[in-house]
Amino acid sequence: MNLSGDPHLVSITRRHFFSRCSLGLGSIALASLLDPQRLRAATSSGAHPLAPKTGHLTGRARNVIYLFMAGGPSQLELFDYKPRLAALNGQIIPDSYLEGKRFAFMDSSFKNKSTLLGSKRQFRAYGQSGMYVSELFPHTARIVDDVTFIRTCATDVFNHAPAKLFMNTGSSQFGRPSMGAWITYGIGSEADNLPGFVVLQSGPRGPRGGAVNWGSGFLPTSFQGVPLRAQGEPILNLTTPEGLNAERQRRAISAINDLNLQRLIATGDPEIATRIAAYEMAYRMQTSAPEAMDLKGESDATLKLYGADRDKPSFARNCLLARRLVERGVRFVQLYHTNWDSHGGPGENLEDDFEKVCHDVDEGQAALVTDLKARGLLDETLVVWGGEFGRTPMGESREKTGRNHHIEAFTMWLAGGGVKAGFVHGETDELGFGPVNDRVHVHDLHATVLHLLGVDHERLTFRFQGRDFRLTDVAGNVVHRILA
């Protein structure tokens, strides 16, 4: 915790210390040698940066599970059904669509940018709500009645790393806090033995930009996302060093905390109380993180629902882990899955490669919504699904068929946490190029997610380099129409 940055906290902690002092902190110290519980009680108040806090408003959602489809999935192959585009396949897109627009790879592979490409995928309306989903997402098609589709998402930047940053931090510049960091900064976390913001990854490679996507930027590092790894140690340095057992670790931590407590008494510095609390939390995490990651206790039926294996890393397994993490109070869980970058090159075509990545995620993501609902957790858990941008209605020919990056309109979906069930927001033009109404910019999406958590995006600020920064920069409107 950055106490020096929070005068209020400093004064509370100091007051606390001095009131303790007058009661005789020395006796507490002695008692704590025998009773770690009392030590914790004596040092924890005001010392947890991640202690749960109330937002500005009454929130509908408590936790968020964000399924980040890294690379930018093609909305035209999955959700945005465009028969007219298929009819115009191979024709030239009217200039009026392209005027003033910029695209990636303008100088090289995106030369025949003006040729329209119809989707070869079959679409059907599903559920009571009759929402269109393509054949590539048979499982997802079954949960449409619990989901809001936003077909008119828009972003500002068309290259992967900056666009991922933009989707996560509201800025394409490095060094800004990510949404999970803002949220845990704003309302803390209810998990007292796990990090408040956890990241899980699957797919052939890490997301572009790496750790900055879940970084805390200029916020204290307490708020940055902690990657839990699918295999081996779930958290860096979580395992007690070789040759030491839990008992010896406990013994060492007790000695560290007792000596730190003596120093706290000698110096009166509340930062030492925070450090004692941090060591206790670290110790608890050593047990609780592996426990959270261990699927031994999950029934075969549950594993089957997700299509997950107890030990083999996969997106589906991460979905199940995400449920376990929010059950344990983790505020923000973000899953990354690669690779959705369907340009048409090797490993990236809209044919078999695309089918594979769809298959990777379909069953797990549908199961997550189904499972959360069955356990009564969907109301308080907001599930967000989407990439950093979408794909162009125009085709791109590399080795096979593909589409280029597209920022004008793409589909994301949300479920639970106070959003409407079985609802479609926004409509794109007949080619799926741009929105004809209800455009939802990244800043609007951020404002809405914060709103659902009970946080006013204009009031969640942090002063840095002379300016009050927000997740939503100077923009963002809550999309009230999708709220249940």
Partner 1 sequence: MSAWKWSIALMGFGAAAAGATADYLNEVKPLLTQHCVGCHGADQQKGGLRLDTAGAARTGGDSGPALIPGNPGDSLLLQLIEGTHAVLPQMPYRRVPLPKVHVEALRRWIAQGAEAPADEPSGRWVHWAFVPPRRPAIPPMEETGGRHPNPIDAFIAARLREEALPLSLEADRSTLLRRLHLDLTGLPPSPEQLDAFLRDPRPEAYECRVDELLHSPHYGERWGRWWLDVARYADSNGYSIDAPRSMWLWRDWVIQAFNDNKPFDEFVIEQIAGDLLPDATLAQRIATGFHRNTQINEEGGIDPEQFRVESIIDRVNTTGTAFLGITLGCAQCHDHKFDPISQKEYFQLFAFFNDQEEPTLSVPTPEEKARLENHQAAVRNLEQQLAELESAADEDAEKARGKLREQLEKLKRRKPSVTTTLVLAERSEPRESYVFIKGDFTRRGPDVSPGTPAVLHPLAAALHAGDRGTGDELQSTRRPNRLDLARWLVDPCNPLTARVLINRVWQQYFGRGLVETENDFGTQGSLPSHPELLDWLATEWLARDWNLRAMHRLIVTSRTYRQTSRARRELEEKDPLNRLLARQNRLRLDAEVIRDVALVASGKLNPEIGGPGVFPPQPDGVMNLGQVRRPWKTSEEGDRYRRGLYTFYWRATPYPALAVFDAPDAFSTCTRRARSNTPLQALTLLNDSAFVEVAVALAERVRKACDDAGERLDLAFRLCLAREPSAAERGRLESLLEEENRDHGEAAAWQTVARVLLNLDETITRE
Report the C-alpha gap between 39 and 253 in whole angstroms: 12
- In the complex, minimum distance from the CB of residue 83 to partner 1, in angstroms, rounded to a whole number: 30
- Name, in order, each residue with C-beta under 8 angstroms of 281's C-beta and a sequence gap of 6 or more: 192, 193
Is the Cβ of residue 396 or residue 444 nearer to partner 1 in the bound state?
Answer: 396
Is the Cβ of residue 139 or residue 343 nearer to partner 1 in the bound state?
Answer: 343
Is the Cβ of residue 45 or residue 302 nearer to partner 1 in the bound state?
Answer: 45
- In the complex, minimum distance from the CB of residue 427 to partner 1, in angstroms, rounded to a whole number: 28
Q: Whose CA is closest to 336, among 167, 190, 206, 478?
A: 206
Report the C-alpha gap between 378 and 263 in whole angstroms: 46
Report the C-alpha gap between 134 and 97 in whole angstroms: 25
How many other C-beta atoms are found inside a 10 Å radius of the C-beta of residue 129?
17
Q: How far apart are the first and last CA of the chain?
A: 36
Is the Cβ of residue 6 or residue 355 nearer to partner 1 in the bound state?
Answer: 6
Is the Cβ of residue 139 or residue 164 nearer to partner 1 in the bound state?
Answer: 164
DSSP 400: S
246 burial level (CB within 10 Å; 0-12, 13-18, 19+): exposed
- In the complex, minimum distance from the CB of residue 121 to partner 1, in angstroms, rounded to a whole number: 25
Is the Cβ of residue 379 or residue 456 nearer to partner 1 in the bound state?
Answer: 456
Report the C-alpha gap between 394 and 220 in whole angstroms: 43
Is the Cβ of residue 212 or residue 366 nearer to partner 1 in the bound state?
Answer: 212
- Say if residues 149 and 79 touch (Cβ distance below 8 Å): yes
- In the complex, minimum distance from the CB of residue 223 to partner 1, in angstroms, rounded to a whole number: 9
Is the Cβ of residue 177 or residue 386 nearer to partner 1 in the bound state?
Answer: 177
- Say if residues 78 and 134 touch (Cβ distance below 8 Å): yes
- Name, in order, each residue with C-beta under 8 angstroms of 68's C-beta and a sequence gap of 6 or more: 164, 167, 168, 207, 213, 334, 335, 336, 337, 386, 387, 388
Is the Cβ of residue 410 or residue 462 nearer to partner 1 in the bound state?
Answer: 462
- In the complex, minimum distance from the CB of residue 466 to partner 1, in angstroms, rounded to a whole number: 3
With the C-alpha atoms ordered 273, 275, 281, 286, is the resulting torsion angle positive or negative? negative
Range list of H helices, 170-269 = 179-187, 246-267
- In the complex, minimum distance from the CB of residue 379 to partner 1, in angstroms, rounded to a whole number: 30
Report the C-alpha gap between 5 and 68 in whole angstroms: 32
- Say if residues 221 and 370 touch (Cβ distance below 8 Å): no
> Reduced to 3 DSSP states, what percent helix, strand and coil does the chain have, rounded to the nearest 5?
40, 15, 45
Report the C-alpha gap between 60 and 67 in whole angstroms: 19
Is the Cβ of residue 87 or residue 255 nearer to partner 1 in the bound state?
Answer: 255
- In the complex, minimum distance from the CB of residue 257 to partner 1, in angstroms, rounded to a whole number: 10
- Say if residues 303 and 295 touch (Cβ distance below 8 Å): yes
- In the complex, minimum distance from the CB of residue 231 to partner 1, in angstroms, rounded to a whole number: 9
- In the complex, minimum distance from the CB of residue 474 to partner 1, in angstroms, rounded to a whole number: 9
- In the complex, minimum distance from the CB of residue 124 to partner 1, in angstroms, rounded to a whole number: 34
- In the complex, minimum distance from the CB of residue 189 to partner 1, in angstroms, rounded to a whole number: 12
Is the Cβ of residue 1 or residue 383 nearer to partner 1 in the bound state?
Answer: 1
